């Protein structure tokens, strides 16, 4: 029977080539769409790596062309922190999460280089943002004595720069520095490693991050200060107004805007949702289309063989042996098509295409394989229903 099966497959090679290429293309499309959708879904479900609830951001402006004396800035921070309902305040840079502002650089360590977002942060920053510390510690007052600039880095950056080796206490710098010696504040001393963070939007992948400790003289040329405030749960407009009045109370010319980080997240999500939903709908549409196409081609191919089924029944085949034959044929044809698709698909994780991790690709390969086999099995099921349902004479007449 096995020999007969392969004879039949070989003799029907032209029809089978078409089926194989249909399976191949379906597999590739299912894989591609699957990889995109799985990546988006996986990102969406991944933790952000920080806690955006009850975090507000202030943009304190000194006024056109005015700089901020550090003493006054500290005064503002102290007074805001003292307001009832405010838990902690921290200074940072303008590239806060979920807003259209980024700041990145390439860093290097012993030949390893990585692009990373660069955030300014003070010693209170992590109390506000609640980053998840994995190794070491956040920087603190004791670091004032350091000859280098203390930094905390994200796990993904740690892996690229230091691999499996130790990271704490290591010093790295910009990747593009020349032979001339770097300034001490550009030599970054790793004091801690935190979990990966996703700061761009809810659907974005994690990006490497470096949190640079703000040194006092960093702020001297600031015209704007970006302040993060963690408030008690349930705080609203009243506290926002109080904060604005407090800032204006310290210095007449200074103004501030108070924004809720969760609102930033939602509005950024609304903005990114359009392409994501569009892509998903297109992807699902493609999947349904390809599935129906494959189904149609296989179904048609098998319906063409009703007479053959009738004849085999007339020659003494049972319904079960008919199903076995067709399932076997479809299994071989599908496997050939899937093998072709696999050969192409595994290149993506192997070559690390689009700088994505291998896992979504492997998941997409698994999903596409399962989908293609399920569809072909369903189609191969048809002849057995046919064989069981109609008399050989009836099937034979349909030639």
Partner 1 sequence: MENLLATPPDTRPQPPLNSPAAAETPVLQLTNIEKVYQTNTIETVALNRVNLTINRGEFVSIMGPSGCGKSTLLSLMGLLDEPTGGTIAIDGRAVTSYSDRELAGLRNLKIGFVFQSYHLINDLSVLDNVELPLLYRPSLSGKERRQRALAALDKVGLSARTRHFPGQLSGGQRQRVAIARALVGSPEIILADEPTGNLDSVMGEEIMDLLLGLNRQDGVTIVMVTHDEQQALKTKRLVRLFDGSQVG
Residues in the site for partner 1, rule: CB under 8 A? 1, 3-4, 7-8, 11-12, 307-308, 310-319, 321, 388, 391-394, 396, 399
Nearer to partner 1, 266 or 311 (CB): 311
In whole angstroms, give the CA distance from residue 67 to residue 64.
Answer: 9
Shortest Cβ 385–partner 1 spacing (Å): 13
Please list, in sequence order, all residues whose beta carbon lies within 8 angstroms of the beta carbon of residue 142, skipping any fewer than 6 positions away: none
Nearer to partner 1, 9 or 273 (CB): 9
With H, G, I as helix, E, B as strand and everything else as coil, classify residue 174.
Answer: strand
Shortest Cβ 373–partner 1 spacing (Å): 24
Please list, in sequence order, all residues whose beta carbon lies within 8 angstroms of the beta carbon of residue 398, skipping any fewer than 6 positions away: 306, 307, 310
Nearer to partner 1, 314 or 353 (CB): 314
In whole angstroms, give the CA distance from residue 40 to residue 45.
Answer: 9
Which run of H or E residues covers position 283? Answer: helix 261-303
Shortest Cβ 18–partner 1 spacing (Å): 14
Which run of H or E residues covers position 15? Answer: helix 13-45
Shortest Cβ 304–partner 1 spacing (Å): 11
- Both tokens assigned to 358: 């291998």
Nearer to partner 1, 357 or 392 (CB): 392
- Both tokens assigned to 340: 């072709």
Shortest Cβ 337–partner 1 spacing (Å): 20
Please list, in sequence order, all residues whose beta carbon lies within 8 angstroms of the beta carbon of residue 24, skipping any fewer than 6 positions away: 337, 338, 340, 341
Nearer to partner 1, 346 or 396 (CB): 396
Nearer to partner 1, 13 or 183 (CB): 13
In whole angstroms, give the CA distance from residue 149 to residue 396.
Answer: 85
- Both tokens assigned to 193: 């490693």
Shortest Cβ 1–partner 1 spacing (Å): 6
By DSSP bridging, strand 55-61 and strand 133-136 are unpaired
- Both tokens assigned to 291: 């599935």
In whole angstroms, give the CA distance from residue 179 to residue 190.
Answer: 22
Shortest Cβ 380–partner 1 spacing (Å): 17
Nearer to partner 1, 8 or 204 (CB): 8
């Amino acid at each position: 029977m096995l020999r007969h099966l392969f004879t039949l497959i070989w003799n029907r090679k032209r029809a089978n080539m078409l089926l194989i290429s249909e399976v191949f293309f379906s597999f590739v499309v299912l894989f591609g769409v699957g990889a995109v959708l799985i990546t988006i879904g996986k990102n969406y479900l991944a933790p952000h790596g920080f806690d955006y609830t009850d975090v507000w951001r202030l943009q304190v402006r000194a006024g056109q062309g005015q700089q901020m004396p550090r003493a006054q800035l500290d005064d503002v921070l102290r007074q805001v922190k003292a307001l009832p309902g405010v838990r902690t305040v921290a200074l940072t840079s303008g590239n806060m999460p979920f807003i259209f502002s980024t700041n990145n650089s390439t860093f290097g360590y012993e030949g390893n280089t990585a692009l990373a977002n660069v955030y300014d942060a003070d010693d209170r920053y992590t109390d506000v943002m609640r980053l998840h510390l994995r190794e070491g510690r956040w920087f603190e007052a004791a670091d004032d004595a350091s000859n280098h600039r203390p930094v905390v880095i994200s796990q993904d950056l740690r892996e690229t720069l230091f691999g499996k080796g130790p990271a704490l206490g290591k010093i790295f710098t910009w990747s593009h520095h020349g032979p001339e010696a770097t300034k001490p504040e550009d030599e970054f001393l790793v004091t801690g490693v935190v979990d990966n963070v996703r700061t761009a939007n809810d659907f974005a992948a994690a990006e490497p991050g470096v949190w640079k400790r703000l040194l006092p003289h960093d702020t001297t040329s600031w015209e704007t200060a970006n302040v993060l405030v963690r408030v008690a749960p349930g705080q609203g407009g009243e506290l926002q107004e109080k904060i604005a009045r407090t800032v204006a109370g310290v210095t007449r010319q200074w103004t501030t805007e108070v924004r809720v980080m969760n609102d930033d997240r939602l509005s950024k999500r609304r903005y990114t949702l359009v392409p994501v939903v569009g892509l998903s709908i297109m992807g699902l549409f493609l999947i349904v289309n390809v599935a129906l196409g494959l189904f149609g081609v296989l179904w048609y191919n098998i319906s063409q063989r009703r007479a053959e089924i009738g004849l085999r029944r007339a020659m003494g085949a049972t319904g079960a042996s008919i199903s076995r034959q067709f399932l076997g044929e479809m299994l071989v044809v599908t496997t050939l098509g899937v093998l072709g698709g696999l050969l192409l698909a595994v290149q993506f994780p192997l070559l690390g295409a689009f700088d994505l991790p291998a896992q979504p690709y492997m998941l997409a390969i698994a999903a596409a394989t399962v989908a293609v086999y399920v569809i072909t099995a369903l189609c191969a099921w048809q002849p057995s229903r046919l064989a069981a349902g109609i008399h050989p004479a009836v099937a034979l007449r349909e030639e």
